[in-house]
Amino acid sequence: MTRHEAQLLVREPALVAWGVAVPVLANLMLNLIPGTRQPQEVLDGLSWSQLYAPTIALFTLSIVAVQLLPTTLGTYRQDGILRRLRTTPASAAVLLGAVCLVLSAVGLLVTAVIMATPALTGVGLPGNPVPFALAAALALVAFVAIGALITAVAPTARLAAGIGACVTPVLWFASGMWVPIGAMPGWLARVCELIPSGAAGRAMQLAMFDQWPSLGQLVVIATWAVCCGVLAARWFRWE
C-alpha cells in the first residue's frame, strides 16, 4: 500500500511542483547569487542563503503535511475509500500510515537536499547538522498532527484544502519567510516562537551557529504535536 500511495503521489502535479520543485529551485537560485553566499555582519556571520535555509525547509514540510495530507485523506473519506477499507484486511489505519509515511519521506528528502545545497555552492553545511535535522523532524511531526486535525474537523476535501491554505501562511510567517525572526519586534518574535514553525525555525538557525535548540523550543514543538494529535485521534471520522 505504501508503494501504491507513492505512485499516486508522484503523479500528483501539486506535490511535484509546489512541494518539491518550488522549494528546491528557490533554494538553489538563492545559493547561486554570489551576494547571498557572503557572511553578513548584521546576520551574526551567517549568509542570506544560510538564514533562509530553515525557512525554505519548513515551507516544504508544511506543504506536504498541512496542505497535501488533509486534501488526500479528505478525498479518500469523501469518496468512501476509508469506509470500504475498514471491511478489508487492508485497514484504513494501514492506509493512513502509508500516506503519512510517503509524505513524510518526501518532506524529509527535500529538506535534506535544501540543507546540502549550500555545501555544493561553497557556503557549507549547518554548523551542527544533528540539531538541524532533529528540529526539522520534530517540526514534521507537529505539522502532520496539525494536518491530521484539519482532516478530522473538515467534512469535505475542499474545506480541508481551504483550511490548510489558511494555516500554512501563518506557519510561513512565524518561520521568518517574509521578515526574519531576529528583525521582528520583541513581542512579535516571542509570539512566533510559540508557533511550531517559529520554534523550529529558531532551533534550526541556532544549529547554523553550531548550537543546540533550547528546551523551551522543543517543548513548544512537542506540545503542538501531542495536543493536535490527541484531538485529531478523538475527532477523526472514517465516513
Closest CA to 127 of 204, 216, 60, 29: 204
Query: Which residues make Cβ contacts (< 8 Å) with residue 196, sequence separation at least 6?
Result: 139, 142, 143, 146, 171, 220, 221, 224, 225
How far apart CA 101 and CA 95 sit, in angstroms, is 10
With a cut of 90, say whether residue 184 has pLDDT above it: no
Instruction: Give the residue-averaged pLDDT of 167-176.
Output: 92
pLDDT digits (tens, 9 = 90+) for 93-151: 777 788 888 888 888 888 888 888 777 776 666 677 788 888 889 999 999 999 989 98
| Residues composing the chain | 239
DSSP state of 195: S
Question: Most distant CA pair in the chain: distance in Å?
Answer: 62
pLDDT digits (tens, 9 = 90+) for 61-94: 898 889 888 888 888 888 887 777 777 776 667 7
Half-sphere exposure of 31 (CA within 13 A, CB side): 23
With a cut of 90, say whether residue 35 has pLDDT above it: no
- Angstrom CA distances, 83 to 79, 89, 100, 155, 161, stand at 9, 13, 18, 14, 21
